[in-house]
Structure 1
Amino acid sequence: MVRIHEEQDWRQTPPSSLFSSRAALSRWKNHDLKSTLRVESSGVDEHHIVSLILRKTTADLSHGSKLVHRGELKPGTLVLSGPRSRPISGTFYESFDHFRVYLPQGLIAECCESISGAIPDRPIELLGTVYTKDRYLLELMRALVGLDSEGGWLGPGFVDAVAFALSCRLVALGQLRPPRTLPVVPLAFPALNRVLEFIEANIGREIQLSEIANLSGMTRVNFSRQFKAATGQAPYRYILSRRIEKAKSLLLNGSMPLSVVALEAGFCSQPHLTTAFKKLTGTTPSRWRVVQEVNSRFSD
């Protein structure tokens, strides 16, 4: 079910229950404005927002202390806003009608990964507040304006697909300038401890990122950021380092074949172990074992 949220307060983020798997839709309108309306939206919001002006109006808009627009807003104008860390205020002098799409950080990060091949390690701020008539964004927004509660005849999946396309276009536009990032809070100790214990207990098998993210109650993207902030390593890199340490402890048993060491440490094969081991230590497992045996004899 897809619903278009009627904003009671300006730029009021829709409740989480109204988000599809990718985005939420909202409408901010007043078709019978009798007097000047002053509004303000404060607090932190990590969403990127695309707003489509549906009705001609006259307004002033400020981001923090900076005036970003004054005057007429014509139908078809798009207002792009990045995550909010400073108050945004506006003054409307005429009736208005704005259609918005709220794009969560996880979706923006997914688009970054699809374009660049890497998941950003912290929240992204692609844009401040920008006015545009970008034709790609405009066509995508127009495809969403008239949706019914079921997401149009194509269903909710259509909304998700358009939201993904909107996000990818924002990423492309944001690459025209260096993206700004927001501070990341490290993963809290109770959740971090659960995750580390789970990794140690399951180091001998494949560990999915979704498994350990679920232990923290977070999305994969947010978990990855907070895990790295807490440990200094991305989850994959941390798990790999623990597998290498497990392999080292098994290698000290000189009679254990490398193929068995690899499987016991969670690698899919001996070549996989050798490649990862050399990448992290600078030498192969067999050479490392020989060096340890020699050192052990001399120490004795």
Structure 2
Amino acid sequence: MNETPAQRNGRPIAERVAARLLYPTTRPREKSVREAVAGKVVLITGASHGIGKASARKLGAAGAVVLLVARSADDLNRVAAEIEGEGGTAHVYPADLTDMDAVERLGRRLLAEHGHLDVVISNAGKSIRRPISESYDRFHDFTRTIDVNYLGPVRLLLTLLPDMRERGQGHIVNISTWGVLAPPAPRWAAYGASKTAFDVWLRSVAAEVSGDGVTTTSVYMPLVRTRMSAPTDFSRVPGLTVDEAADLVCHAVTAKPREIAPWWSAPVQAWTSLTRNQVQRFFERGLSRLPGIPG
């Protein structure tokens, strides 16, 4: 289909401009990425689609030995075939992050087969947007979200961290959300709580393991156009493409900053700290005028 004057690369130019202004992405040079990851063993969870898939392809093209983790073996095999078709090396490990015993076995298998892991990118995530009035009989929404976004990643790292600390090197990247830095949003209780839990856990652990040469990066992603965000109408919100988000992941792996966040997140945090009660009242007044919206 031919591109309209208002579109380029499949999305409106206005959104591209807004996204570039609000979420300027850092795209490391290919040489820098290759120097950082060539020959390194890099694990990516949630690697079958979206940010994980795009990141795996970029890192694989730069020479990393990419370990792909997700539930679907078929989808992972397709990603691995694409990476290998571009001259890279990829290994497939189907796993369900909600099965804690299976996650522990996965970690031990990875160490047994590859000797060590240089980089762990915790990208797998589950999102649920649902008002609390529709959640009273859906406790499983909270358990499955906390398992994927928090407990599963923790279980995996508890298996991998001892080896990283003993070797005196390793890097952990958490693909989080800018919502962790913002006031809690209505209807996102399950998602927000689970992402915040892992964010706090990793930052706490980082203080303990940094002396052993293990570093961490928290990437507070803005909206990214993926199948996970698709069920919610974000048509009025500018967002990143998965390719732009993957550039941020590559920057995290290459430069290893403590965190990557939208430039405006610090001012927003400062403002909300001063106006916490007013923000809460704003949400409450706004919701009182709206009917419940299913997730």
Which bracket does the TM-score occupy, shorter chain normalised?
under 0.3
Which structure is higher in helix share? 2
Report the TM-score when normalising by structure 2: 0.23
Which structure is higher in strand share? 1
Larger Rg: 1
Q: Which has the higher contact order (CA 8 A, sep 6+)?
A: 2
